[in-house]
């Protein structure tokens, strides 16, 4: 009997006003000035009575708070087992021979020298006909050590008939270019929106017209843990596949096919994984090879990419060229818009790069083409297409704002879709406050004055869906000793899934976070969607909540008979279950309640609940940079990101996502670019020395702010919008600082120096 016996105060007898259409008033308990207080709350009529709700934000004890990751200590101490770390008895190591040419026909493959290499146990041919991109796997070799596997790979003899290739967009569009996809053209028009003549006529009506060609390079996912699997099949009717994947359930069925087993006979395991960013779905060609080798040898096979392979054959973010022309009226209206977009997706078509991005011109025309090249196909990467569209569109927006002498922030507010204006405006103005825009001296024109060190500020917006889907099945078990276990096959990409899964259940039962044990990353647990499109949390969290709610209902039915209180009058608080009307006399400890249930315990299932998820997010970011006009150095001093995402599960982890998104965008903006020599066709920077990513010295103050102005009650994913606007805001800040508009990423010092020199000459 330790609970503080404070009185429950009913503040108002009657609701303050009649309920709005579709709403009703309910009494709910909030803590006000430290006292439990019953207040009237207006809620949707369909929520509340017959299913779980998240409850009022103020009432949440764990959710929407900062929660330390429960697997953090395991990760930072190295105890966490990633796929790379899996070691099994009798395990062998596999490596892959990759095609060294952008395009070649395979005349002959001789495995004998590899098979004769010390330590080599098996070699299989994966491709014997034709290869159209450098890096495609041709042969896989398994050996007793990784070193022997590499020796084996280098011993394989392949005779190639090297073909003429096109690795750049220019080569691919040359009149005599080789046709990469059979008889089809290398260039394909994917979509055309609007009337060109109308858009051109509208341009003529504008007070200012600007134009430019924006170029974005191919970016790599650059996951710290490379792609790969450990396939453990020693014969019989079961196998285990440990995979570094974004989808537990995208692996087992593919593996079953390769192993001639049924899907349920293969268990996929994703205990921890070191980053995916959209590039890790399915088993892949190399995973197929590992299955083949494991089946052949009857031993576990460890096949993880080396770093060069990760750059050559693990996908990428498509590059592109955006040729934009737009005009505005002096009033600040974005009036006319013409876009011609090229997507560079390698042997694939590349993903969505539609224009105009976010902003709504009165009249617009856009054509999107894809240009095939003999390079590794692009894959999904964190907000596919959005950062590319953003870089071009947001640059154009600033150029236009300056052309009509308007503050780019106000120009943005004026031209976002009207139904989203309130959110974007709130987010932009908060960014402006935090980054110091209101006292910045150059708000309507770039600072073109002489000077060595110059500071500028830029803005950009994001948009994303992030909603959930009915794909997850979750089980919550209460055991007689009071332990609470949650089971879901879902995977944690490093975003903190385990922590919020435990928190949702702990919240439901009034327990501490540590009292709930989450079990994830195994295909024998309940089904879960793959982590793509920021849909994990909005799909999983509602199902977890539903399972916890069902488990609590079952528990309350037992407790009801024990203490003689109706189930609907029970609640969980501070490790006990009590009568809401008489908390001091009628109660039972949570553990005792579980013990009373008996040996069978409680098992409850949960599925996705529409009312627990929402979708649709925006987000605004700002960057402040300092440029050195003597050296071209670009230093990002400060970035601010303001992000909405409905109900937040774990504020700390959500800010981490926003932080990580901003840093990844900074790195994309300033450094990242796949470099291919057009004549040799070779990738020149398939390593972390020459493929540069931002390090700690490149990252200034990064301020991640959750937009609490978003009062939606559902859960929404937000990892993707976080990565969209950063590089655009940085490019705009450079322009604002010194009047140099860099339209080609990465935004490096050499380009800035040459642009400044050009500006001086001009």
Partner 1 sequence: MKAFELIQPTSLDAALEALPGARDTKARDRVKILAGGQDLLGELKEHLIEPQTLVNLKSIPGLDQIEHRDDGSLRLGALVTLARIEEDRALRERFALLAEAAGAVASVQIRNAGTLGGNLCQRPRCWYYRHEQAVCIKKGGSECFAYGGLNKYNAILGGGPSYIVHPSDVAPALVALEAQAVIRGKRGERQVALEQFFTLPSEGSVLRENVLTSEEILTHVIVPAQSDAPWRSTYIKFRERGSYDFALSAVALRLSMDGDKVRDARLVLGGVAPIPWRCEKAEKAMVGRKLDAQTAEFVGKLALEGAEPLEHNAYKILLTQGLITKALRKLAN
Region of 120-128, 135-143, 724-732, 745-753 interacting with partner 1 (CB under 8 A):
745-753
Q: From the CB of 677, what's the least distance to partner 1, in Å?
A: 5
Q: From the CB of 168, what's the least distance to partner 1, in Å?
A: 11
Closest to partner 1 by CB, 84 or 98:
98
Give the span between the Cα atoms of 684 and 218, in whole angstroms. Answer: 13
46: its two tokens: 């369909």
Distance (Å) of CA 297 to CA 224, 237, 293: 30, 16, 6
Closest to partner 1 by CB, 131 or 428:
131
Give the span between the Cα atoms of 640 and 566, in whole angstroms. Answer: 50
Q: From the CB of 698, what's the least distance to partner 1, in Å?
A: 6
Q: Taking CB under 8 A as the rule, does residue 4 contact partner 1?
A: no
Region of 12-20, 190-198, 513-521, 748-756 interacting with partner 1 (CB under 8 A):
748-756
Question: Using CB under 8 A, which of 2, 689, 761, 762 touches partner 1?
Answer: 689
Closest to partner 1 by CB, 302 or 751:
751
Q: Taking CB under 8 A as the rule, does residue 159 contact partner 1?
A: no
Distance (Å) of CA 417 to CA 108, 125, 217, 332, 603: 59, 54, 29, 14, 47
Q: Taking CB under 8 A as the rule, does residue 754 contact partner 1?
A: yes
Closest to partner 1 by CB, 237 or 679:
679
Question: Using CB under 8 A, which of 185, 200, 698, 744 touches partner 1?
Answer: 698
122: its two tokens: 């098996």
Distance (Å) of CA 19 to CA 4, 52, 116, 389, 612: 34, 22, 82, 43, 22
CB neighbourhood size of 684 (10 A)? 12
Dihedral angle, C-alpha 128, 133, 135, 141, nearest 10 °: -10
Question: Using CB under 8 A, which of 59, 130, 628, 744 touches partner 1?
Answer: 628
Q: Taking CB under 8 A as the rule, does residue 679 contact partner 1?
A: yes
Q: From the CB of 692, what's the least distance to partner 1, in Å?
A: 5
Q: Taking CB under 8 A as the rule, does residue 13 contact partner 1?
A: no
The three-state DSSP-derived secondary structure of 93-146 is EEEEEECCCCCEEEEEEECHHHHCCCCEEEEEECCCCEECCCCCEEEEEEECCH
Q: What are the b/e assignments for 583-622, b being 16+ CB within 10 Å?
A: beebbbebbebbbebeeebbbbebbbbebbbbbebbbbbb
Q: Taking CB under 8 A as the rule, does residue 694 contact partner 1?
A: yes
Q: Taking CB under 8 A as the rule, does residue 141 contact partner 1?
A: no
Q: Taking CB under 8 A as the rule, does residue 684 contact partner 1?
A: yes
Q: From the CB of 382, what's the least distance to partner 1, in Å?
A: 21
Give burial (CB, 10 Å; 0-12/13-18/19+) of 182: exposed
Question: Using CB under 8 A, which of 690, 701, 708, 758 touches partner 1?
Answer: 690
Region of 85-93, 246-254, 512-520, 680-688 interacting with partner 1 (CB under 8 A):
680-688
Give the span between the Cα atoms of 613 and 608, in whole angstroms. Answer: 9
Helix (H) or strand (E) holding 297: helix 284-297
CB neighbourhood size of 43 (10 A)? 17
Going residue by residue from 576 to 615, which x/- string records binding to partner 1, judged by CB under 8 A? ----------------------------------------
Distance (Å) of CA 623 to CA 138, 657, 691, 700, 730: 45, 17, 23, 10, 5
Region of 27-35, 393-401, 722-730, 744-752 interacting with partner 1 (CB under 8 A):
744-752
Question: Using CB under 8 A, which of 429, 591, 692, 712 touches partner 1?
Answer: 692
Closest to partner 1 by CB, 151 or 271:
151
Closest to partner 1 by CB, 619 or 632:
632
Q: Taking CB under 8 A as the rule, does residue 697 contact partner 1?
A: yes
Q: Cα 103 to chain center, whole Å?
A: 32
Closest to partner 1 by CB, 392 or 737:
737
Q: Taking CB under 8 A as the rule, does residue 744 contact partner 1?
A: no
Give the span between the Cα atoms of 392 and 730, in whole angstroms. Answer: 12
Closest to partner 1 by CB, 21 or 695:
695
Q: From the CB of 761, what's the least distance to partner 1, in Å?
A: 12
Q: Taking CB under 8 A as the rule, does residue 100 contact partner 1?
A: yes
Q: Taking CB under 8 A as the rule, does residue 753 contact partner 1?
A: yes
**Beta strands across the sheet bearing 130-131:** 130-131, 104-110, 157-162
Q: From the CB of 752, what's the least distance to partner 1, in Å?
A: 9
Give burial (CB, 10 Å; 0-12/13-18/19+) of 546: buried
Q: Taking CB under 8 A as the rule, does residue 162 contact partner 1?
A: no
Give burial (CB, 10 Å; 0-12/13-18/19+) of 470: middle
Residues near partner 1 (CB under 8 A): 100, 147, 151, 154, 628, 630-633, 671, 675, 677, 679-680, 682, 684-685, 689-690, 692, 694-698, 748-751, 753-754, 757
């Amino acid at each position: 009997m330790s609970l503080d016996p404070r009185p429950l105060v009913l503040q108002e007898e009657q609701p303050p006003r009649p309920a709005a259409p579709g709403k009703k008033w309910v009494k709910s308990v909030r803590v006000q000035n430290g006292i439990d207080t019953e207040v009237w709350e207006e809620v949707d009529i369909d929520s509340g009575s017959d299913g779980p709700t998240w409850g009022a934000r103020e009432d949440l004890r764990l959710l929407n708070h900062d929660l330390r990751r429960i697997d953090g200590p395991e990760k930072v101490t190295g105890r966490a087992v990633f796929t790379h770390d899996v070691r099994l008895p009798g395990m062998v190591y596999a490596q892959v021979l990759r095609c060294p040419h952008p395009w070649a026909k395979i005349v002959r493959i001789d495995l004998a020298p590899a098979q004769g290499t010390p330590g080599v146990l098996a070699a299989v041919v994966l491709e014997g006909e034709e290869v159209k991109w450098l890096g495609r796997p041709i042969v896989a070799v398994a050996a007793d050590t990784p070193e022997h596997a590499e020796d084996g790979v280098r011993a394989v003899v392949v005779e190639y008939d090297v073909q003429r290739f096109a690795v750049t967009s220019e080569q691919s569009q040359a009149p005599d270019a080789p046709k990469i996809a059979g008889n089809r053209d290398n260039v394909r028009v994917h979509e055309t929106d609007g009337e060109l003549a109308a858009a051109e006529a509208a341009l003529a009506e504008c007070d200012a017209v600007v134009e430019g060609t924006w170029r974005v390079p191919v970016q790599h996912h650059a996951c710290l843990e490379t792609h790969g699997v450990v396939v453990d099949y020693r014969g019989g009717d079961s196998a285990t596949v440990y995979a570094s994947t974004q989808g537990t359930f995208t692996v087992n069925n593919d593996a079953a096919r390769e192993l001639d087993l049924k899907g349920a006979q293969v268990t996929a395991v994703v205990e921890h994984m070191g980053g995916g960013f959209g590039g890790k779905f399915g088993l892949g060609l190399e995973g197929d090879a590992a299955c083949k080798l494991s089946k052949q040898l009857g031993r576990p096979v460890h096949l993880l990419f080396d770093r060069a392979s990760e750059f050559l054959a693990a996908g990428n973010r498509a590059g592109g060229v955006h040729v934009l022309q737009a005009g505005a009226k002096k009033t600040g209206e974005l009036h006319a818009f013409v876009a011609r977009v090229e997507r560079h997706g390698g042997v694939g078509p590349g993903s969505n790069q539609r224009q105009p991005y976010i902003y709504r011109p009165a009249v617009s025309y856009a054509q999107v083409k894809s240009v095939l090249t003999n390079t590794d196909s692009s894959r999904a990467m964190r907000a596919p297409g959005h950062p590319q569209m953003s870089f071009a569109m947001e640059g154009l927006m600033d150029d236009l704002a300056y052309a009509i002498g308007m503050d780019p922030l106000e120009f943005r507010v004026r031209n976002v879709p009207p139904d989203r204006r309130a959110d974007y405006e709130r987010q932009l103005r908060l960014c402006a406050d935090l980054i110091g825009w209101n006292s910045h001296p150059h708000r309507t024109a770039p600072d073109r004055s002489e000077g060595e060190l110059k500071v500028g500020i830029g803005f950009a917006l994001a948009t994303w869906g992030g909603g959930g889907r009915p794909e997850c099945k979750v089980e919550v078990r209460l055991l007689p000793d009071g332990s609470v276990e949650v089971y879901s096959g879902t995977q944690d990409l490093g975003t903190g899934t385990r922590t919020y899964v435990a928190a949702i259940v702990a919240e439901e039962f009034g327990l501490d976070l540590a009292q709930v044990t989450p079990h994830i990353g195994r295909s024998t647990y309940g089904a879960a969607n793959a982590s793509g499109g920021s849909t994990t949390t909005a799909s999983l969290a509602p199902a977890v909540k539903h399972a916890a709610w069902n488990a609590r209902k079952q528990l309350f039915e037992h407790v009801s008979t024990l203490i003689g209180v109706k189930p609907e009058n029970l609640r969980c608080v501070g490790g006990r279950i009590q009568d809401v009307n008489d908390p001091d006399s009628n109660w039972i400890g949570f553990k005792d309640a579980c013990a009373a249930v008996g040996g069978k315990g409680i098992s409850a299932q949960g599925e996705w609940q529409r009312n627990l998820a929402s979708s649709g997010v925006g987000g605004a970011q700002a960057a402040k940079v300092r440029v050195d006009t003597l050296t071209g150095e670009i230093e990002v001093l400060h970035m601010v990101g303001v992000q909405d995402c409905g109900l937040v599960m774990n504020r700390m982890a959500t800010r981490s996502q926003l932080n990580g998104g901003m840093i990844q965008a900074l790195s994309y903006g300033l450094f990242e670019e796949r470099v291919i020599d057009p004549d040799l066709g070779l990738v020149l920077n398939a390593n972390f020395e020459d493929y540069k990513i931002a390090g700690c010295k490149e990252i200034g103050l990064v301020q991640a702010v959750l937009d609490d102005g978003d009062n939606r009650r559902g859960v929404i994913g937000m990892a993707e919008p976080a990565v969209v606007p950063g590089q655009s805001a940085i490019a705009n800040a450079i322009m604002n600082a010194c009047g140099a508009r860099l339209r080609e990423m990465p935004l490096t010092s050499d380009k800035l120096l040459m642009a400044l020199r050009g500006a001086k000459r001009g």
